[in-house]
Amino acid sequence: MQWIEGHSTVKIQAAGEGDYDEIADVWEASVRETHHFLSSSDIDALKTVVREKLLPNTDIVLVRDDIGKISGFAGVSGSKIEMLFVAPEYMGRGIGKRLFWHAVFEMNAHRLDVNESNLGALDFYMRLGCKVTGRSPLDGMGNPYPILHLEWIRSEG
């Protein structure tokens, strides 16, 4: 098992409803760090949607650090990764990659969407083998933030 600073083990576990407020806080911190194209009011409005609509209707798994704080999470619905976010202080340490592979191999999710302007996330998913399969000019809420549709396809060989 890969060692990650602040984590004596990296155990992915199912989230419970009692985790939703902390997950929403991790989502917000991650989005503020990476989604520079969104305004603060956009993020505030989206956080309410994430907390009240997405989290209760998505299978959520998470990783906790050694003191029990959530350091990252992924949400899957059907064959789609709906969310994958890592707390800023843990970005670049392998947690996102572990959550991605868990979603792919344990939760059978192989599709996801990423904001076209979130170049860091796009690069992350492309390095993991995802391919762009389409583009939408508006996000899921009808806002002018283009979305790229990605798919991870198992390579043979």
Domain ranges of the chain: 12-152
| 125-149 residues labelled b (16+ CB within 10 A) or e (exposed) | beeeebeeeeeeeebeeeeebebbb
The set of residues, in sequence order, having a beta carbon less than 8 Å from that of 18 and lying 6+ positions away, is: none
Fold that domain 12-152 belongs to in CATH: Aminopeptidase (3.40.630)
> The whole model's pTM is what?
0.91
Tens-digit pLDDT string for the chain (157 aa): 455 766 667 799 999 999 999 999 999 999 999 998 889 999 999 999 999 999 999 999 999 998 999 999 999 999 999 999 999 999 999 999 999 999 999 999 999 999 999 999 999 999 999 999 999 999 888 889 999 999 998 765 4
| 45-71 residues labelled b (16+ CB within 10 A) or e (exposed) | ebeeebbeebbeebebbbbbbeeeebb
- Both structure tokens of 135: 């583009």
